[in-house]
Amino acid sequence: MQNVVTVDVVGVGLNATDTLIALARFPSIGQKVEFQTVQILPGGQTASAVVACQSWGLQTRYVGKLGDDSAAAIHRAAFDRAGVEAQILTAENTSSAQSIILVDGSGERTVLLKRDERLSLHPKDLRRNWIAGARALHVDGFDTAAATQAAMWAREDGIPVVADLDEIYPGVEHLLPLIDHLIVSRDFPARLTGEVDLEKALKKMRADYGSQITAATLGHDGVLAWDGKEFRYRPAYLVPVVDTTGAGDMFHAAYIYGLLAGWELDRQLDFACAAAALNCTASGARGGIRTVKAIEDLMQVGTLYPAVYPAPHDTVFA
């Protein structure tokens, strides 16, 4: 077996080459709208989260698949610059995953995706020693069978699994029981459980799948988490928004950073909200990655959006 250096975080999942197109306003059907700028940048949920963790001093490994095009070179160079150990598989005669991201004047983005099936990561592509010895595993669940295999190995080795899920992928029912920290998008809990009330849905997710933490990120409304005893809520930070691309990726990366630092959940969530907010102050999925100090400074002096749930410990949700 190939010797692999032990790392803090392993990410198994998506990468994408993002073409960011800045618009003053989003067009309606049939309109012509002049765009302002175009940027081609590396992105992808798991890939961006891993790069952020590396920038904050954690040792990281990314496992994913690229095509054999010029976009693949952009990703490899970005991993090299960041210091991420990249275990990249190559799909020959295939274009890497692409995202066309339209960003309007408010910073909100609309995403168009294209990903060849030959870029799919399969269980047979993985090596157990890529996972073994890590302190945390991060998955997005897109290539669900591969994510499940990685999570199974992590569970067997006592490695906590963090997941960033926004879609109910085929086979996700096999992955969910292997996730310790299930942090999902706003609408996911209702779609998964059929329970429209977010608090009840988060409780049901934890009861059904045995996660340690279930949480939903809520955009400018912050984050709500259920730890099995009480709900923990943190409002979002009010910042000048340039581009919301990658906010969720940064949230998950910062959550992992706090998890490995041994922080209390409230601090983890607050740090994650601050990191996500700062990432929105620049263009691209990774454009606003700031230092740990800058994130903590925002936590000290930053302005918060109005809370949509009671502050932590003011009210315990039964």
The residue among 228, 231, 292 whose CA lies nearest residue 257 is: 292
Which domains are assigned to the chain?
Answer: 7-24+37-301 (3.40.1190.20)
pLDDT at 19: 93
Whether 315 has a pLDDT exceeding 60, the answer reads no
Convert 190-217 to b/e letters by CB count within 10 Å (16 or more is b). eebbebeebbebbbbbbeebebebbbbb
How many angstroms separate the Cα of 8 from the Cα of each of 58, 123, 135, 150, 237? Answer: 6, 22, 5, 15, 28
Per-residue pLDDT band for 311 (boundaries 50, 70, 90) equals low
The DSSP line for the chain is: -------SEEEES--EEEEEEEESSPPPTT----EEEEEEEEE-HHHHHHHHHHHTT--EEEEEEE-SSHHHHHHHHHHHHHT-EEEEEE-TT-PPPEEEEEE-TTS-EEEEEE--GGG---GGG--HHHHTT-SEEEE--SSHHHHHHHHHHHHHTT--EEEEE-S--TTHHHHGGG-SEEEEETTHHHHHHS--SHHHHHHHHHHHH--SEEEEE-GGG-EEEE-SS-EEEEPPB----S--TTHHHHHHHHHHHHHHHT--HHHHHHHHHHHHHHHTTSSSTTTT---HHHHHHHHHHPPBPPPSSPPTTTS---
Instruction: State the distance between the two ends of the chain, measured CA to CA, in whole angstroms.
Output: 50
Across residues 246-259, what is the average pLDDT? 97
pTM above 0.75, yes or no: yes
Contact 247, 284 (CB under 8 A): no
The residue among 97, 95, 88 whose CA lies nearest residue 285 is: 97
Proportion of the chain above pLDDT 90, given as a percent: 86
Mean pLDDT for the chain overall? 94
Over residues 176-188, the pLDDT tens digits come to 999 999 999 999 9
Higher pLDDT, 87 or 106: 87
pLDDT at 26: 87
Over residues 40-67, the pLDDT tens digits come to 999 999 999 999 999 999 999 999 999 9
**292 phi and psi, to 5 degrees?**
-60, -40
Instruction: Centre a 10 Å sphere on the Cβ of residue 272 and count the other Cβ atoms it contains.
Output: 28
pLDDT at 318: 33
Over residues 10-22, the pLDDT tens digits come to 999 999 999 989 9
Whether 269 has a pLDDT exceeding 90, the answer reads yes
Over residues 88-109, the pLDDT tens digits come to 999 999 999 999 999 888 888 8
